[in-house]
Structure 1
C-alpha cells in the first residue's frame, strides 16, 4: 500500500506543490523589495519568528523529492511515532502521516507557530483523509513539545526556524529511541546543529543530496 498514490492525496499534493512554487516566488519578491534596514531587522532576529510571521502566506514546503524521501525513510524503519518541527501548510506532514498510516498506525506530532497555517494544514490533512494520523500543536515549538511530545520517538523531522534546530533537538533527543532517525531539511542553515550532531559519537550522520542531513541514533 502507498497512500501517496491515492487519487485524493496525489491530486492534493500536486496542487500544494504548485501553490508552494508560486508563494515562495512571491515571498522572495516581496522580501527583496523591502528596504535594507527592514530586511536586516528580520534576518537578525535569532528565532526568525518575525521572518516566519512575515512569510505566513508562503508554503515553505519541502520539495517533491524530499517529501518522498520522508515517506520512504518512515516506511523503511516502520515508524509509528514521528515528531515534526515546522508544519507550514502540511505538505511534509501529509507524507509522514501517509507513512504512519501505511505502517499500520501511529501518530505524527507536528508544530506550527502561525495560527493561519495551522488552520490550513489541518484542512489539508482532512482533505487527504489523514487527519487521524497527525496532530498539529499550535504555538512555540519549544513550549508545546516540552509538554506534548510523545514519550518515545521513532523519527524527528526538523524543518522549522533553522536557528532553533539545536534547541528542538536537545529537547527531544532523550525520547528518540536507539535506531531512531533525525532528518534535518536545509541543515546548512543551522551550523550549530550540524556541528553538534556530527560530533556526537552516539550518532552517525550523512548528507543526502545538498539539503538534507540524515542521522541515526546508535546508542543512548
Structure 2
C-alpha cells in the first residue's frame, strides 16, 4: 500500500523529501508538479500547498488514524516524517535542538541565498554583476559556516539527520554557485559521504525519471519568475 503521495519536482527542495523517504523505506508515489508549466497553480495542488510551492505530501496513513494528512513546506515535511517514523531526529532534547537549529538555518539562509545565486547566475534575463557578486559571496560565507560545523563531526548534528537531508541538495549544484568544494574540506568529506549513500543514489534516480529540470524557454521563465499568482 502506498502511504505517502509526494507532490514533487526535482529541485533541491524536492530532493530533500525523496532523500528521507528512500532512507526510511516508506512507500511513496511521486505526483509530478511541473513548475515550468504552472502546475503549482492548479486548484488541486493549492488545496494542499496554498503557497503554490512544491513539495507537499499527503499521508494516507497518519498516526492518528484519521483522514489523510497534508503537509506543505519542505522543512515542515521533514519534521513531520521524522515524527511519524521516529527516524533521523535525535531522541534526546539537546540533540533535537541542534537538528532543529540547522534545519531552520537551511530554510532561512542556505536555501534562500543559494536560490538567489542560482537565479542571478543562470536564469536572470540580464547579468547584474552586483547581484551575482553579492550572492556568490554570501554562498561562500554559508559554505564556510557549514564547513566549520562539520569539523570533527561526520554529519551536521553528529548522526545523519533531517538537517543533512535539508542541506545536501543545495550543495549539489556547487559549481553553478561559483564554489569549489576542495576549499571546504570538511564540507567536501560530508558531501561525498552523503552522495555515496544508496538512498541518495535512489532518490536522485527518481528525480531523473521525472525531468532533468532544465528551464527550456521564455514561457517557462515567465511562469517561474514573473508571476506570484495565476
> Fold match, TM over 0.5?
no
Question: Max radius of gyration: which structure?
Answer: 2
**Higher relative strand content:** 1
Normalised TM-score (structure 1): 0.31
Normalised TM-score (structure 2): 0.30
